[in-house]
Amino acid sequence: MDFQPFIRDIVDFPKPGVVFKDITPLLQNHKMLLKACDQLLDMVQDQKVDKVVGVDSRGFIFAPLMASRLQAGFVPVRKKGKLPFSTLKASYELEYGQDILEIHTDAIAKGEKVLVHDDVLATGGTAKAVCELVEKLGGEVVQCNFLIHLTYLRGDEKLNGHQIRSLLQY
């Protein structure tokens, strides 16, 4: 399936020099939304998944859908100060700045198999921080899966050999 026509470039967002990959046209088309979810699930294949971690904020779109279909729990990883319970924190670098992510300390049990999902893999800072949080809680990252991988930013190099899958590469 060709998802590329449903991704639009927004130049100089959120700051000059950045070309933002906007997935909202894909989300607005119910058939493409379902096909993207199906193909994201196909990338997981037959791996056992106990939890699907969705990354704030666009990772929250597909991660719960995949968790439901995988009969797994959904875990949100949020930006600092957004989760109400005790959290574990990780700071990270992203393409246009620095931030802190948090996960609930009881979100993942030791030995659980975890699928990490976000909309875009860019510089890899966000995904690396999420994997570190999962592993600090005792989870095993079985795959990092994305709608889009910006290969020219080489973010995959920060993911320490974790399996990476994406529907689109730029």
| Catalytic positions, written as ranges | 58, 95
Which residues fall within 8 angstroms of residue 152, CB to CB, at 6 or more apart? Answer: 170
Q: How far is CA 92 from CA 34, 123, 165, in A?
A: 31, 10, 21
The label of the residue with tokens 């809680």 reads: 137
Handedness of CA 54, 60, 62, 65 (dihedral sign): positive
Q: How far apart are CA 78 and CA 53, in angstroms?
A: 10
